[in-house]
Amino acid sequence: MRVRFAPSPTGALHIGGARTALFNWLMARHEGEDGTLVLRIEDTDRERSTPENVAQILDALQWLELDWDEGPISQISRSDRHQEVLAQLLDDGHAYRSTATADDVRAYKARHGADRGFRGTAEGEGAIRLRVPDDGASVVRDVIRGDTTFQHVHLDDAVIARGDGTALYNFAVAVDDHDAGITHVVRGEDHLSNTPKQLLVYEALGAAPPVFAHLPLLHGPDGKKLSKRHGAASVQELRDAGYLPAAVRNYLALLGWGDADDETLIPTAELVRRFDIARVSRNPAQFDEVKLRWMNGRYLRELSTDELTAQLERFTGRTGLRDAVEISREKVQTLADFWPLAGFIFDGPADDAAAREKWLGEAGQAVLADVRSALAQVDPYELAPIEAALRGVVEARGAKPKDVFQPVRVALAGVPVSPGIFETLAVLGRDESLARIDRAIGQTG
């Protein structure tokens, strides 16, 4: 089996593209030694294809840990070969040069009917069009969608190269896939309508087409086509949002994969073992970032504290995080959740006037005074005695736990959200805890 991932470097790698890459990768790896993944960069759009975009796509694939076996092959670097095949098709009459413009095509349809495919006349100059026979049909055999028949009479003679001879997508993709010996083309459903044109190119080359699989579109939870509106849209954004590549692979693999109704956490090796493109559902799949967050939280919990600390130190660019990680790990779902929750341990309390007003009023001040003297006497200054001291204050005041813990939290963190209060006091140490409480005493909203 030889598959390929063929992104156009006209922007970042989007989530839909990442899923296409992943499915191709899973197919190739499922075959072991007999599977090859080719990476081709479809850079024939010279204006929008930039080296930065190429670098970004490679970087995204590497972050996802999707490796390829051949390439990256630049499509532009194959222009000589494209020229050679174009000359051959012109020569044997499968293609012709025509100066027909978009207006000419419209006029043709006005005369012959809107669903009539455009037929031009060979003029020996202009863009190169593929000659589509009037009779017959092209049938796209798709392992996900079954057969789709396109009657030739409705297909335009497609432009396959510009006047200057540079090849266009539907031509270049077929020649490149053919030359690379691609056996399975797996890509987004938005390409389905291009496929009959590519089949006609294969036919003109006298070559057998590959097997096709068009993946259903990705929708957001609202049922609309996936876009920026739904949250992170590119792989880089997923990385910046603190997702782990393994969780992203797991989540994307399940999108549209009809094998896993009742299970969600499937490690990559298991995905590779079980992957079968024929089981992908043809219905649109829903990308729901809330579910991805949940799944990522599960993956984070499976890391040891040392592993998670290493990841978080890389993510935040800070060091010495281990104790803070230990007490926060149950409360974070992504790497990006950590610093807003626990950064105050290092950077001091946040400035939140509303929290001060709510928790450091008269009652809060009295609580802090009691907590301060209790903590000053805790010996040793460790988790269990700290907890006992705070519960002692709750009891002595006949208060609700919250009315004691929240003022302490705001004193330490500035906000009423933090890792466990006893754990936080222990990690900060007695001196720092008392100093923050002292600062909060007399500091009302």
- Footprint of ligand GLU (CB under 6 A): 6-8, 42, 173, 187, 191
Partners of 98 in beta bridges: 127
Cβ-based burial of 27 (10 A; exposed 0-12, middle 13-18, buried ≥19): buried
Q: Least distance (Å) from ligand GLU to the CB of residue 17?
A: 7
Could you give the angle at the alpha carbon of 59 between the alpha carbons of 57 and 65, nearest 5°? 105
CB atoms within 10 A of CB 413: 25
Q: Which is closer to ligand GLU, CB of 203 or CB of 432?
A: 203
Q: Least distance (Å) from ligand GLU to the CB of residue 20?
A: 7
Q: Which is closer to ligand GLU, CB of 184 or CB of 293?
A: 184
Question: What whole-number distance in Å separates Cα of residue 149 and Cα of residue 137?
Answer: 6
Q: Least distance (Å) from ligand GLU to the CB of residue 282?
A: 18
Q: Least distance (Å) from ligand GLU to the CB of residue 188?
A: 7
CB atoms within 10 A of CB 262: 4
Question: What whole-number distance in Å separates Cα of residue 7 and Cα of residue 24?
Answer: 12
Q: Which is closer to ligand GLU, CB of 7 or CB of 35?
A: 7
- Torsional sign, CA 23, 33, 178, 138: negative
Q: Which is closer to ligand GLU, CB of 184 or CB of 409?
A: 184
Q: Least distance (Å) from ligand GLU to the CB of residue 368?
A: 60
CB 130 within 8 A of CB 86: no
Residues near 395 by Cβ (< 8 Å), separated by ≥ 6? none
The residue whose two tokens read 């259903």 is: 216
Amino acid at 211: V
Q: Which is closer to ligand GLU, CB of 7 or CB of 120?
A: 7
Question: What whole-number distance in Å separates Cα of residue 196 and Cα of residue 405?
Answer: 67
Q: Least distance (Å) from ligand GLU to the CB of residue 157?
A: 21
Is residue 228 annotated as a catalytic residue, yes or no? yes
Q: Least distance (Å) from ligand GLU to the CB of residue 68?
A: 14
Question: What whole-number distance in Å separates Cα of residue 366 and Cα of residue 392?
Answer: 15
Which stretch of DSSP H or E encloses residue 191? none
The residue whose two tokens read 């590959």 is: 210
**List 224, 228, 400, 402, catalytic entry:** 228
**Long-range contacts formed by 46-52: CB under 8 A, 24+ apart:** 46/76, 48/8, 48/9, 48/10, 48/11, 49/8, 49/9, 49/10, 50/9
Q: Which is closer to ligand GLU, CB of 6 or CB of 390?
A: 6
Partners of 269 in beta bridges: none
Which stretch of DSSP H or E encloses residue 110? helix 102-112
Q: Which is closer to ligand GLU, CB of 11 or CB of 126?
A: 11
Catalogue the active-site residues: 228
